[in-house]
Amino acid sequence: MMYEIFTEKTIIINASTFYNFRKNLKIERTKNPRKKIGFTSTDDDLNRKILEKENIDIFMPLLQNRKDFQKQRNSGFNQVLSKIAKKNNVIIGINLDEIINSRGKNKADILARVKQNIKLCNKNKLKMKFYGRSVRDIYSLKALGLVLGMNTSITKTL
């Protein structure tokens, strides 16, 4: 279990079970009622369960250490999760630290998975945002978003 405070207004919770996430969510909501709460995990079943049942603000799928399928990338985000996120008004986060700290083929795989997630978000008109400790200036983030395929309407709200 890990807490990451990316900005003064956001807390990202990484949990391995639904019970642990629910317990930590309750603690954070009482301690910091104005902060946005996000979730990240590598378990796809847990991701769907939390998107469906819990009231979170940000969902950030972990893209590192995933094994791709034969004909498609495994980005931890699919059309089912995107429809659930649209219904619950959840922002899809992109972990900028994950991109910056990776090297070689691993970085190329992560960027390809981000690009796939951006296509799904464009299709369903979901909000997206870059998060991380090493957040660059806003112009660099907008340029990266446009290169990866974000709509200009999404990059205006970064």
pLDDT digits (tens, 9 = 90+) for 111-134: 988 998 999 898 988 988 888 776
* pLDDT tens readout for residues 128-156: 888 877 666 788 888 888 888 888 888 88
Q: Are 59 and 38 in contact (CB under 8 A)?
A: yes
How far, in Å, CA of 138 to CA of 104, rounded? 25
Taking the C-alpha atoms of residue 102 and residue 134, their distance in angstroms, rounded to an integer, is 13
Domains of the chain: 2-156 (3.20.20.140)
Q: Which residue has the tokens 């630290």?
A: 97
* pLDDT band (50, 70, 90) for residue 94: confident
Contact 10, 39 (CB under 8 A): no
48 in Cβ contact with 37 (< 8 Å): no
Residue 86: what pLDDT? 92
- 91 φ, ψ (degrees, to nearest 5): -85, 135
Going by pLDDT thresholds of 50, 70 and 90, the confidence category of residue 8 is: low
